[in-house]
Structure 1
Amino acid sequence: MTRRPAGLLCAGWLALIVLACALADWVAPYDPQEQDLGAVYSGPTGRHWLGTDQLGRDILSRILHGGQVSLPVVAEALAVYVVLGVLFGLAAGYRPGLADRMILRVCDLLLSVPAVVILLAVLAIFSHNESAAMLTLGFLASGGLVRVVRAGARDVRDEPFVTAARAAGLTTPQILRRHVLPRIAGPVISLTSLVAGSALLVETSLGYLGLGVQPPRPSWGGLIAEASQAIFRQTWMLVPTGGVIVLTALALGVLGDVVRDAASDRTTAGALSWRRMRTRVTAPDQEKGVDEEDGDDVLLSVRDLSVRLEGPGGPTRIVDEVSFHVRRGEAVGLVGESGCGKTMAVSALLRLLPAGGTVSAAALRFDGRDLLAMSEREIARIRGRSIAYIAQEPVAGLDPLFTVGAQVAEAVRHHTGLDRRAARARAAELLEMVRLPRPATVMTRYPHELSGGMAQRVSIARALAGEPALLIADEPTTALDVTVQAEILDLLRELRERTGMGLVLVTHDWGVVADACDRAVVMYAGQVVEQTGVDRVFTAPRHPYTEALLAADPSAGTPGRRLPVLAGSVPAAGRWPDGCRFAPRCGFAAGDCTAAPVKLAADGDGTAHRCLHPRHTTTAGG
């Protein structure tokens, strides 16, 4: 909240106006009925800061006293709206059944009746009773909130943490208050702020039509009516009276969005946002890293890349000074177990980190350009056009509401500027390029109609829409059968040979590395522990972690013999051990391995390793 100036400004305005109206009897410079016939229709003066009306009454004083009428009835409408909407929404969403169906039918009825007609009928029965009208408004509007809360509660009720709370013996009210409500607070706050602004305008309209409190008692709607009657004699009257209403309604809407975002930041990972992701460049005068390469053939150069994410205890380093490079037309595999930082490292290149992420690097260059020095608009031009990205879940990356052809053509139009017909023709060419049979038919299908292999090919086709120089593929063969996996790898190899693009392949599958990569960069606990050519990594690994991963590869196992298992797991970020991070799981660890951090050492032939005892890992084949 404190990091959002708009929210602070709106909160300050609302606090000021509410406090001033509540204390109007003390802070208003005049009685709202006090007349000054010598200053009729006066503009702003030293005596009357906002001018006077047709009877010389002080407009500022009447606005403050009018707020004592308008703001309380708006609060009444909101109270009814929130209480009914949240209570019945939770009842319908958390406990489905007869009550759920009955509540939904009532909501349908509330949403279908004309609210204006109902309000006029209430005012006909309770003449000039704004409280009755606004309570009715809150009741009629609550049907929309009930549906929103119900949908949120249905999504949350089956989450593992809710099941665990039930197993722990928490009562239903406790679960709703502590586990369900915080997850649906965002949309509730947003809708409430919008209804607050609408209720204020409705109350103003009632006063303007003469259906609210009667003169001479001031109300904001009555002040608007008086200003409209004097529009040709004193136009200024409409400025302060209408201005306070407009500013208050806008402040309610903006503040609701800010509070919603703040609540979402506390309960979710947050949306991907460059505004909350900061880029910091470390001192460029360091010595050249062991992996940094020079030359015109180097497409991507990454040196000492580090990534931190915000956590409950403050920033946590996820990636720790990773360095690697990719030459034009070269395929580099990032290998390691889950949790080693592979995805975070490649996401940082395109600034696709979760909210609050921080990137630092000694150098981050693509095709001779400094990525760290680029603005968000410049990076946006790079994404998809020069550097394409294929996410782990191909189907999840496709919008279920649009056909395959529409989504691929959309990417083509964005990157090339072609018209619709030409873009669809190009989309068909791309689908044919990725070996999809009957591209015209596939273009008419929706994502749910595709198999895993087809969805992956569509993702690749969309990534190629901008003719990128570098393709980053994050686990492109995960969850695919062996046959489809081989076809995808063949496709990537063919595309690389045909277009000359570089490839960064994130994987934990050594078979993928052997089939599709020229070099391997092995990561563990956020660090690069070894990088070398693919041929050498299989015949003479230098780091014990690399050797252990190779030994545990099922494709390298011998029938009838137990497959070696790498004991333990990757330590969580922020809990990395001192010294060599692999030492607790390493069978060759010695006392010096835990004494101090181990640096990445170059072997002198374009390879490097992070081990004090690399001789233990040389196999017979090396």
Structure 2
Amino acid sequence: MGRWSTAARTPLGLTAAVLAGSVLGLAVLAPVVWGTSADAVDTGSILSPPSGEHWAGTDNLGRDILARTLVATRLSVLLALAATAIAVLAGLVLGTAPFLLGRRLGRVVTAAVNIAVAFPGLLLALFFATIFGVGATGAVFAIGLAGAPAFARLTQTLVAGVAARDYVAAARVAGVGRLRVLLRHVLPNISEPLVVNATVGTGAALLSFAGLSFLGLGVQQPGYDWGRLLYDGIGAIYVNPAAALTPGAAVLVAGLAFNLVGETVAKALGVGGVARRPGRAPRAVPGLAPVAADEAPRAVGDDLVLDVRDLEVTVPGARGPVRPVRGVTFSVRRGEALGVVGESGSGKSLTALAVSRLAGDLARVEAGRLTLLGTDLTEADGRAHRRLLGTSLAMVFQDPTTSFNPTRRVGAQLAEGARHHQGLGRAEALARAVDRLGAVRIPEPERRARQYPHEFSGGMRQRAMIGMGLMGSPSLVVADEPTTALDVTVQQQVLDLLADVRAADDVALVLISHDVAVVRSVCDRVVVMYAGRIVEDLPAASLDDDARHPYTRALVAAVPDMDTDLEAALPVIPGTPADPGALPPGCAYAPRCPLASARCVEEDPSLVSDDTGHRVACWHADGPAEAATTAAPGEVGVP
């Protein structure tokens, strides 16, 4: 309550509280206190000017205008709130539709919202008023639907931002349905700006409703709201200006009150604030055993865990489709650690997302073969696929800060997948979450399970993310640059933990990194990617002495070691990475390669394998290593 009391004590907060309290108080009390005098007809005082008896004068039936203005507060506020509720509900439905419906239908909804937003709100209100007809009910729907497009646009933008977060991707890997992801992970994280917008929108709805009633399309006789009183008083404005100014002032004050409340709410919540919800502590379940390894599907007949053949990912671009991943082929066996290295934009992470079925609705994933434990992942998604990905594949994302939903407790987030896929009850799933937090070396796991992600350090969040993957019985762990945001000591702890997980259950590991030294120390094999394709596949132990592609040699040479001459300039890679949307003919690395020849510029080399399984795509794979790492002075290299 601290931030609310602080905001309420500011001049803005005090003014908003006084005005809003007065308006809401009048809405409740005015019909009771002044209802009789507001409806009393006095034919002897028709169109009287302001006086001590009638402070704002009377109307054409001798009724007190001030009393009627006060009594009209209830109907005016209720109608504005009803219209706002319709706008919020319709806006939420339209704004979340692209997330729920997928790429094609979502684009149709987005286009419709964009068209509607282009029209002025009052014009839309008049359009809907002609459809629903005159009267209070028709005006409520007209104002509500007219305000829906702007609210939908805001919702679409906020949903798109949160949907790209790692914790949403983690929920999808766990097989949680889109609707549940929306309700559990997306809406709680966008609720605050929506609440602020809805509060400010109530003031706009109040003004719009008064406008429709003033035009004769809103409240009809014998009912009356502020707009209707303004319409009645405008005819006598030259005789009694107070007849029009009094309801006009009421509209102004009430609209200002709602807008100031919205500003106060925004100040109290703060930019990027998070609404916290109380949660229950996990109960330990005596005798709970870890999930049996045979509950998850396993490869039949051999130890092949992941098999990828000719993987291609196509995304829309400004000048047509772009292929950031081109014909990637590799496999990972049980207990094997495969490293994927390359510069930013080489297609490493997108390859992992495509394998995990998380490339997004705009991406088209095609492959000659894409199997996990013998199951074809290119087939239509279904319950079996979701369970396979949720229990047999663990994703460890790059940024531990965005790996968890900030509005939910860590234990509850770990338990979600176990409840969804393994049929555990709430208490059992929370108890297993505590067990997994302890397994990844988080101290006091029971207490930590009750905490929110912001209460964890960066390294602890990363370990908890690994623990989330271990809630099932994963056969494959895909770690996408899991140590990038961590200090050196914590990096080693995370790498040691991944190694322990791999050794304990014979788990396959795919480690994506730009750090050649890390991959060399952890992995058995290394796949080097450039411009969306694999240019070399070799044993990790051969990186220093047997790398054959000039790009691989340059990456290795750019990493300093204990023998590096401190007085000499570090080797660097000249030029900039290739643009996936404008790849040159021939070898994509040719513009940066010191060994490039005319053939390199004209023909793209195929990825060929020798007798040892070492694969390389280069016309000069046997060229001198010294020449391959020579770069023009002053170029920017890759660390």
For 1:611 and 1:516, the matched residues in 2 are separated by 26
Q: 2:353 aligns with which of 347, 355, 359?
A: 347
Give the aligned CA root-mean-square deviation in angstroms: 5.0
The alpha-carbon distance between structure 1 residues 109 and 408, as it changes in their structure 2 partners (threshold 3 A), is same
Q: Which residue of 2 aligns with 1:580?
A: 587
Q: Which residue of 1 aligns with 2:618?
A: 611
Q: Which residue of 2 aligns with 1:83?
A: none
Residue type matched to 1:532 in 2? L
The alpha-carbon distance between structure 1 residues 447 and 138, as it changes in their structure 2 partners (threshold 3 A), is same
The alpha-carbon distance between structure 1 residues 382 and 400, as it changes in their structure 2 partners (threshold 3 A), is same
1:576, CA displacement in angstroms? 1.5
Q: 1:408 aligns with which of 406, 409, 414?
A: 414
For 1:482 and 1:261, the matched residues in 2 are separated by 40
1:456 aligns with 2:456: no
1:473, CA displacement in angstroms? 0.7
Residue type matched to 2:440 in 1? V
CA contact (8 A) 2:539 2:614 kept: yes
1:562 aligns with 2:562: no
CA contact (8 A) 1:602 1:608 kept: yes
1:447 aligns with 2:453: yes
1:425, CA displacement in angstroms? 2.2
**Residues 122-144 of structure 1: per-residue CA shift (max 9 Å, x gap):** 99799999xx9999569955997
1:515, CA displacement in angstroms? 2.1
Residue type matched to 1:306 in 2? E
Mean Cα displacement is larger for which, 521-530 or 556-565?
A: 556-565
CA contact (8 A) 1:599 1:610 kept: yes
For 2:11 and 2:579, the matched residues in 1 are separated by 45
Q: Which residue of 2 aligns with 1:228?
A: none
CA contact (8 A) 1:350 1:379 kept: no
Q: Which residue of 1 aligns with 2:378?
A: 372
Q: Which residue of 1 aligns with 2:496?
A: 490
The alpha-carbon distance between structure 1 residues 559 and 108, as it changes in their structure 2 partners (threshold 3 A), is farther
Q: 1:542 aligns with which of 545, 548, 563?
A: 548
CA contact (8 A) 2:340 2:513 kept: yes
The alpha-carbon distance between structure 1 residues 378 and 251, as it changes in their structure 2 partners (threshold 3 A), is farther
TM-score with structure 2 setting the length:
0.57
For 2:462 and 2:490, the matched residues in 1 are separated by 10
Q: 2:602 aligns with which of 589, 595, 600?
A: 595
CA contact (8 A) 1:404 1:446 kept: yes
Q: 1:332 aligns with which of 306, 317, 338?
A: 338
Residues matched between the structures, number: 432
1:302, CA displacement in angstroms? 0.5
Q: Which residue of 1 aligns with 2:3?
A: none
The alpha-carbon distance between structure 1 residues 578 and 368, as it changes in their structure 2 partners (threshold 3 A), is same
CA contact (8 A) 1:547 1:617 kept: no
The alpha-carbon distance between structure 1 residues 392 and 196, as it changes in their structure 2 partners (threshold 3 A), is farther
1:384, CA displacement in angstroms? 2.5
Helix, strand or coil: the match of 1:318?
Answer: strand
Residue type matched to 1:613 in 2? H
Identity of aligned residues (%): 38
CA contact (8 A) 1:111 1:143 kept: no
Q: 2:318 aligns with which of 308, 312, 320?
A: 312
For 1:102 and 1:420, the matched residues in 2 are separated by 44
For 1:310 and 1:610, the matched residues in 2 are separated by 27
The alpha-carbon distance between structure 1 residues 452 and 588, as it changes in their structure 2 partners (threshold 3 A), is same
**Residues 536-559 of structure 1: per-residue CA shift (max 9 Å, x gap):** 123210100000000011346614
The alpha-carbon distance between structure 1 residues 381 and 294, as it changes in their structure 2 partners (threshold 3 A), is closer
Mean Cα displacement is larger for which, 406-415 or 134-143?
A: 134-143
Mean Cα displacement is larger for which, 316-325 or 563-572?
A: 563-572
Helix, strand or coil: the match of 2:328?
Answer: strand
Residue type matched to 2:582 in 1? R
Helix, strand or coil: the match of 1:385?
Answer: helix
| Structure 2, unaligned runs of 5 or more | 1-9, 40-57, 62-67, 89-110, 179-298, 628-639
For 2:625 and 2:78, the matched residues in 1 are separated by 75
The alpha-carbon distance between structure 1 residues 220 and 390, as it changes in their structure 2 partners (threshold 3 A), is closer
Residue type matched to 2:620 in 1? H
CA contact (8 A) 1:540 1:619 kept: no
CA contact (8 A) 1:522 1:529 kept: yes
1:376, CA displacement in angstroms? 4.5
CA contact (8 A) 2:314 2:325 kept: yes
1:388, CA displacement in angstroms? 1.4
Helix, strand or coil: the match of 1:614?
Answer: coil
For 1:553 and 1:187, the matched residues in 2 are separated by 54
1:578, CA displacement in angstroms? 1.2
Q: Which residue of 1 aligns with 2:5?
A: none
1:347, CA displacement in angstroms? 0.3
Residue type matched to 2:324 in 1? I
Aligned pairs for 1:151-550 (under 5 A) are 252=145, 256=149, 260=153, 264=157, 296-550=302-556
The alpha-carbon distance between structure 1 residues 220 and 307, as it changes in their structure 2 partners (threshold 3 A), is closer
Q: Which residue of 2 aligns with 1:571?
A: 578
1:471, CA displacement in angstroms? 0.9
CA contact (8 A) 2:116 2:149 kept: no
1:392, CA displacement in angstroms? 0.9
The alpha-carbon distance between structure 1 residues 512 and 417, as it changes in their structure 2 partners (threshold 3 A), is same
The alpha-carbon distance between structure 1 residues 335 and 187, as it changes in their structure 2 partners (threshold 3 A), is farther
CA contact (8 A) 1:530 1:546 kept: yes
CA contact (8 A) 1:543 1:617 kept: no
TM-score with structure 1 setting the length:
0.59
1:591, CA displacement in angstroms? 0.9
Q: Which residue of 1 aligns with 2:53?
A: none
For 1:341 and 1:220, the matched residues in 2 are separated by 54
| Structure 1, unaligned runs of 5 or more | 1-97, 149-181, 213-218, 222-244, 277-292
Residue type matched to 2:585 in 1? D
**Residues 225-277 of structure 1: per-residue CA shift (max 9 Å, x gap):** xxxxxxxxxxxxxxxxxxxx9xx88995998599749975999798699999x
Residue type matched to 2:607 in 1? L
For 2:396 and 2:381, the matched residues in 1 are separated by 23
For 2:75 and 2:318, the matched residues in 1 are separated by 42
Helix, strand or coil: the match of 1:531?
Answer: strand
CA contact (8 A) 1:306 1:361 kept: yes
Residue type matched to 1:608 in 2? R
1:525, CA displacement in angstroms? 0.9
Higher relative contact order (Cα pairs below 8 Å, separated by 6+ residues) = 2
CA contact (8 A) 2:499 2:522 kept: yes
**Residues 174-207 of structure 1: per-residue CA shift (max 9 Å, x gap):** xxxxxxxx9x989989xx89x979x98xx98x95
The alpha-carbon distance between structure 1 residues 512 and 306, as it changes in their structure 2 partners (threshold 3 A), is same
CA contact (8 A) 2:370 2:378 kept: yes
For 1:303 and 1:563, the matched residues in 2 are separated by 37
Helix, strand or coil: the match of 2:535?
Answer: strand
CA contact (8 A) 2:26 2:73 kept: no
The alpha-carbon distance between structure 1 residues 253 and 564, as it changes in their structure 2 partners (threshold 3 A), is same
Q: Which residue of 1 aligns with 2:213?
A: none
1:375, CA displacement in angstroms? 1.9
1:406, CA displacement in angstroms? 2.1
